[in-house]
Amino acid sequence: MTRSEVDHLDEKLHGEQVLDSSQTSNSVLFTCGHYYTKQNFLEEVLVKFQKELAHGHGSVPSSAQVLVKYYNRGDLLPLACPKCVLNALHSMDPRLSAQDVVRCDLCKDNVVQNYCDYCHVKLCKLCIGEHISDEYDKHKIVPFQQRKSTLIFPSCKKHSKETCKLQCISCNNSICAKCSILKEHKDHNVVDLEDSYNSKKANITKETEEIENIISPTYEEIRKELESQIASLDGEYEKITTIMSKQGEEWHKEIDGVINKMKNEIHEIKVSHRDILKKHLKQITQIESSIKENLRTLKDLHRESNVVSTIMEYKLKNKELSKLPPQVQVSLPTFCPKPIDRGKVYELIGSIKPLTATTDEHGYTLKRQRRPYRELLHSPEVIKTFNTGYTYLRSVSFHSDQEIWAYAEVSEIKCFNVKGKFINAIKTKSGENPNDVAVTSDGCLLFCDWELKTVNKVVKEQIKEIITLQGWIPGNLCVTSSDDLLVVMCDEAKTEYKVVRYAGSVETQTIQYEKGGKPLYSSDYKSKSITENKNLDICVADRAAGAVVVVNQVGKLRFRYTGHSFKSKVNPFLPRGITTNSQSQILVADFGNLSIHILDQDGQFLRYIDGINEPSGLCVDTHDNLFVAEYKTGDVKVIKYLQ
């Protein structure tokens, strides 16, 4: 209903009697001061008139028409405020403000009031009985505003009369209550299927947002950049041919043939240049089309978001789509004129540097979505504490909202749920304690075995060696936003340290020295915890150096943080654990001063979190709550520090 229609009703009703509460029990006083009929009474009147008008005129009227008819009826009590009428209509169903009222799928006349969540049918109250008359237990009637709120669980394949409402994490299967007590699921991690569904649905929502806001815009930007390069090719190559022409004008006519030959060479190079860029553009366009197709699929899933099997069958693709292709870099040829010498015309006119095309694995970066800013709490609070059963707890690693992995100076790695309940444990092959643990985006545990010089992946409780080093010992590690692996390692003499990036098991980058050849990291054999920030910086807590060393994505030193002067912090800065949050802030465990340092992404100190007993390792959950591993107590403290 438009403002002009409301004003028209105001004029039409000017001077009408205001409804008094003593006149009827179907009145209620609105905040505007006008009396008005209760919602259920208005709903009955509205349905009645919509049906009358539909039968009389062959179409369902707009909300404005219904209101005018309502006011014109002599046998109904007058209403005082058309704006209140409009608000009441909107409160019953926002769709009533549209020109066409949503109608019952069965009778086609009455306003829809209910919805069958199993059949996806819109119903009025009068048609509910007819709809459920065949099989009552095969329907789920809910208010229309709550449509698609009922989850449709799959039937159990082993127990046909049972519904699967549990999820076996170990088997990655939906099971019923009877299945959960079978021998094949004994000691397995079984959770509510609804929880898994909600988590997967949240991931789909997140993936949709990432494609819409990050991946798709990134490819659009790459495509536009390539199109711009292609569009500017003629101008760039024209500059080169102009230089050649000026040089050629200085020579006698007998060298024109040589000049033309060189121009032809340039033209051929330009064709090759364009072909290279067009080929790359075609690849980018194809990937971009795939992204848009996947986005349409995701949005289709959203429209059928209460069908569990459809949601659960969908395979997340952001990991694949986030892997950007190598950037093609083609350098322009150059023409170098020389003094004229008739005996060496071709040579002295100049030389053309051949076309070179290289690929840079890190040439493209995903656009980053700006996160809502969150203030630091004035007084951080411990919201949860649980004990791991370890003494000398080293660190913790978080995955989703279901699993937390913890390790200590023993040969086993323990898994807990978010409530601190023990789930299971993994033992290292060597029988030695791991140097560090991390979790991949799909929930697989990774750990470094210094004795075997391996990086290992745990899949369905089976340990698989994915990286085996020769002459180097793996230390700390982390998983990046693109699912690459960053591993800190030292040589066997323990005098050199470096950070190596792996894509799967393939080494793609080494970070070891700053400008001038000076080592970035200390040579002392102590832990060097590592993490990637949201801006793709690589942050290392170098305990022996008493510093946090931060380099950018290509390995160039950005800054070193060596602590913050404060009267109560008298001991040397000893950074052990490190993590980052959604605000790109860096959190560092200061073992020497029993505190956590919070820095911004540029290394500026923001504040301390005190009251920690020998903080060793850190991680954050999806809500930015901080998990702190206390070294000797074996406790994990969960701290809320952001508003």
Is residue 569 one of the residues assigned to a domain? yes
- Whether residue 42 is predicted with pLDDT greater than 80 in this model: the reply is no
CA 56 vs CA 61, 66, 68, 214: distances in Å: 11, 13, 16, 53
Give the pLDDT of residue 136: 63
336 and 390 assigned to the same domain: no
Q: Apex CA 499: angle with CA 496 and CA 502, to 5°?
A: 135
Is residue 326 one of the residues assigned to a domain? yes
Give the pLDDT of residue 626: 96
Is residue 332 one of the residues assigned to a domain? yes
Is residue 474 one of the residues assigned to a domain? yes
Mean pLDDT (the chain) is 82
The pLDDT tens digits of the residues spanning 433-470 come to 999 999 998 889 999 999 999 999 998 889 999 999 99
Q: Mind giving me the DSSP string for 75-139?
A: TS---S-HHHHHHHHHHH-GGGGSSS--B-TTTSSSBP-EEETTTTEEE-GGGHHHHHSS-GGG-
Give the pLDDT of residue 96: 44
Is residue 246 one of the residues assigned to a domain? yes
- Whether residue 339 is predicted with pLDDT greater than 70 in this model: the reply is yes
Average pLDDT over residues 13-31: 37
257 and 348 assigned to the same domain: yes
Average pLDDT over residues 528-554: 95
Give the pLDDT of residue 442: 83
534 and 631 assigned to the same domain: yes
463 and 608 assigned to the same domain: yes
265 and 298 assigned to the same domain: yes
Give the pLDDT of residue 251: 64
DSSP category for residue 254: G
Question: What share of the chain has pLDDT > 70, as a percent?
Answer: 81
Is residue 535 one of the residues assigned to a domain? yes
Rounded CA separation 601/581 (Å) = 10
- Whether residue 420 is predicted with pLDDT greater than 50 in this model: the reply is yes
- Which of these three, 97, 126, 155, is where a domain ends? 97
385 and 413 assigned to the same domain: yes
- How many Cβ atoms sit within 10 Å of the Cβ of residue 184? 10
Is residue 105 one of the residues assigned to a domain? no
Give the pLDDT of residue 93: 44
Confidence label for 393 from pLDDT (cuts 50, 70 and 90): very high
48 and 9 assigned to the same domain: yes
404 and 464 assigned to the same domain: yes
411 and 545 assigned to the same domain: yes
Is residue 244 one of the residues assigned to a domain? yes
Q: How many domains is the chain built from?
A: 3
- Which of these three, 47, 70, 97, is where a domain ends? 97
- Which of these three, 319, 335, 360, is where a domain ends? 360
614 and 546 assigned to the same domain: yes
Q: What is the CATH number of the domain that holds 452?
A: 2.120.10.30
Residue 639 three-state SS = strand
Domain residue limits at 68: 3-97
635 and 595 assigned to the same domain: yes
534 and 582 assigned to the same domain: yes
8 Å CB contact between 486 and 532: yes
Average pLDDT over residues 604-623: 94
